[in-house]
Structure 1
């Protein structure tokens, strides 16, 4: 393990900007040192080990071996608010079998059906669905429900009090089907939403219907084979009458960059396929041509900064996503529903243009054969809202490991995953 880390390496792993690290340095939160030869800013491993979000780099844990984690039996799931299938596809890759997917957006449903004709995709408002026929027949219910505020009123929020919210519909499905595990995922902002009351209310609802909720965790996509600084909040509930030893996905030490996403290499066997993409208006393109790879609006001449930022120029905050050109050697910033929208520009490193649809999909770790339906804006929206496929796969692997250990703990602990798979291989595949 090396002794010193460059500022760009630390920024990538912590999913913060270099400007943030410099601010931490000035405030004494994380002190940097100077390289004795080139005087570059560097960080010593002993200082980094103290950081909660960096310490795992120095741990000797064994990273998840995808090839060895296989289901000991068929584990079934229901997915709600399925979108374009990022979470569903990742769970499928981990070995889970989805028996129902619900989504209200017609273009997202067309995407799901065109890529997986055998999936049971229900295009309907979730409020109109009855899940009681699946009671006792599914192991997992998952869903990326929209974040909505609750009226907390200073008391424990119960199931009935959540009516009228889409989270209530997620909880209703869990209550009607009684899976062993329920998994909710959302943006990290849910942690602070309404001073934390919204998340606290959601946990209360799940506990009210019979689930023990583990402390929610924020997963950084860059730690899970995704070349993007995306973060997702994971809420996992275990049915109270079951003793299931769930562990959240272990952070991977290897960080992937935009180069890994768009070029032949560690993530993909070929360069990204060509596809359609949005374009910048003439003046915006002229301005972004002045921004270097890895740069943003502060790299522009001051006169142009004021022209481009307008009133925002005089406001506080870094606003590092504005006029942002991604460099090849860094993970991409979090993708949004529109790569050309002001305040969330995601400009190509070499060409002055937004990322194309297929480039967007690669950054979200979708396979190249996963096609998106609808207009180009609809396709961007579907991809931007998705859970990265590799992150979803690692969530699925954690679910599979937990269920394996629950259903057959003695054999699982004695022989390990690889031997178990060999023992059960014939029966497992026959059951499919």
Structure 2
């Protein structure tokens, strides 16, 4: 934001106080205004506003997670998708040596936007990572959660063979990367009553890695206008454990809303561009026309509720994602791979339609120049499956801090 002078009303909104409070602060010297030479109205300079914590947050100048790398760090990313995690890590300062993805449309997206990246399309089982041994600093990936068969198995490294987690572990073993980052759905914590995650941690331990306590990060705390949650798993070689530790990125106080995603403001310097998008069938559109911004199926007339919900009307649970219209002043609900399916509607606040492709991308904090390849449904799928870019960037800074600490430790041993 280039603006340097702000009106009384704008400053009150930035600092979340009323105008009378600002007048008192002015008189007491806590926050001095300047006078507009034309009308003598109170105005405030950006550098004075950012003395206050809320001012720093508003202007993104209190980027408390930001850290610079002390050397270039290289990564390999598996299950790269459309590049949300990779782009966020790149913004943080991490360089990608290799990205692997099996979906041809996602690969087309990656190549379209980053032709300089080394992108290998195909089944991960066909890739040998041994040539990267001791040549990368970080292995990342969001492997799909797969159940293991527990009966009669000791569940070590070899016993997970045939799962995509095994391929992630194999890549870790072959590269000997000092640090890894894995991300997954929150449900992995409770999958098979926690046994699946416990098995994964045991395997990683067997390979010589300490796994820090996995944590669910809420994207809304990391400059993402969406109520999305991801399970983050970070680990490093055990040899560094006595002198190096890891901290997850600190959350930000400010929560961004749908308005921040789709309108000109702090997150984007222009309104969202028009793009293709799905449409509702006529009857569904007529029903959703009745739902107010921020509302859902319970805001419909009773007879319409029964028509729309059918058997689900008589079952328990709130089902708050059904017939859901997002309001401008709230974050979006978690985006799915299809914006119009009945269980997870994400209707535009003003127009009765699903979010368009570019709106979807904005909510995931992709830049407007990040182009998605494939059919419309393929584009929705790629965006819906992605890690929000801003969340990935904040995680990236925490990884760089960890790698910096490891590098300092290694250097100290040679002094």
- Does 2:168 align with 1:170? yes
Alignment of 1:132-151 (within 5 A): 132-151=130-149
Partner of 1:402: 402
**Equivalent of 1:115, from 106, 109, 113?**
113
Partner of 2:335: 335
**Equivalent of 2:188, from 187, 190, 204?**
190
**8 Å CA contact 1:152, 1:201 repeated in 2:** no
**Alpha-carbon distance, 1:401 to partner:** 1.0
Alignment of 1:66-77 (within 5 A): 68-77=66-75
- Take 2:135 and 2:289, find their aligned partners in 1: how far apart are those partners? 56
- Does 2:243 align with 1:252? no
- Take 1:98 and 1:385, find their aligned partners in 2: how far apart are those partners? 20
2:199 counterpart SS class = helix
- Take 2:154 and 2:86, find their aligned partners in 1: how far apart are those partners? 32
- Take 1:153 and 1:167, find their aligned partners in 2: how far apart are those partners? 18
Alignment of 1:31-46 (within 5 A): none
Partner of 2:302: 302
**Alpha-carbon distance, 1:126 to partner:** 0.2
Partner of 1:205: 203
**Alpha-carbon distance, 1:152 to partner:** 3.0
TM-score, normalising length from structure 2? 0.82
Partner of 1:324: 324
- Take 2:302 and 2:325, find their aligned partners in 1: how far apart are those partners? 18
Partner of 1:65: 64
Unmatched segments (≥5 aa) in structure 1: 1-56, 413-432
Partner of 2:236: 238
**Alpha-carbon distance, 1:65 to partner:** 3.4
Unmatched segments (≥5 aa) in structure 2: 1-53, 55-60
**8 Å CA contact 1:79, 1:101 repeated in 2:** yes
**Alpha-carbon distance, 1:151 to partner:** 2.1
Instruction: Decide which structure has the larger Cα Rg and report it.
Output: 2
Query: Structure 1's 247 and 156: CA in aligned 2 closer, same or farther, altered over 3 A?
Result: farther
Partner of 2:353: 353
Deviations 1:186-214 (A, max 9, x none): 01011111111111111111111111111
Partner of 2:215: 217
Partner of 2:99: 101
**8 Å CA contact 1:78, 1:98 repeated in 2:** yes
1:183 counterpart SS class = strand
- Does 2:339 align with 1:367? no
- Take 2:200 and 2:405, find their aligned partners in 1: how far apart are those partners? 28
Query: Structure 1's 336 and 181: CA in aligned 2 closer, same or farther, altered over 3 A?
Result: same
**Alpha-carbon distance, 1:154 to partner:** 8.6
2:235 counterpart SS class = strand
Partner of 2:313: 313
**Equivalent of 2:224, from 201, 226, 233?**
226
**Alpha-carbon distance, 1:266 to partner:** 1.3
**Alpha-carbon distance, 1:411 to partner:** 11
2:240 counterpart SS class = coil
Partner of 1:29: none
- Does 2:309 align with 1:293? no
- Take 2:249 and 2:411, find their aligned partners in 1: how far apart are those partners? 22
Deviations 1:17-65 (A, max 9, x none): xxxxxxxxxxxxxxxxxxxxxxxxxxxxxxxxxxxxxxxx9xxxx9643
- Take 2:85 and 2:402, find their aligned partners in 1: how far apart are those partners? 18
TM-score, normalising length from structure 1? 0.79
Query: Structure 1's 102 and 307: CA in aligned 2 closer, same or farther, altered over 3 A?
Result: same
- Take 1:207 and 1:380, find their aligned partners in 2: how far apart are those partners? 37
* Aligned-pair Cα RMSD in Å: 1.8
**8 Å CA contact 1:211, 1:238 repeated in 2:** yes
Query: Structure 1's 305 and 114: CA in aligned 2 closer, same or farther, altered over 3 A?
Result: same
1:343 counterpart SS class = helix
- Take 1:181 and 1:152, find their aligned partners in 2: how far apart are those partners? 28
Deviations 1:100-154 (A, max 9, x none): 0000000000000000000000001001000000000010000000000112349
- Take 1:256 and 1:382, find their aligned partners in 2: how far apart are those partners? 23
**8 Å CA contact 2:179, 2:403 repeated in 1:** no
Deviations 1:255-278 (A, max 9, x none): 000000000011111000110000
**Alpha-carbon distance, 1:240 to partner:** 1.0
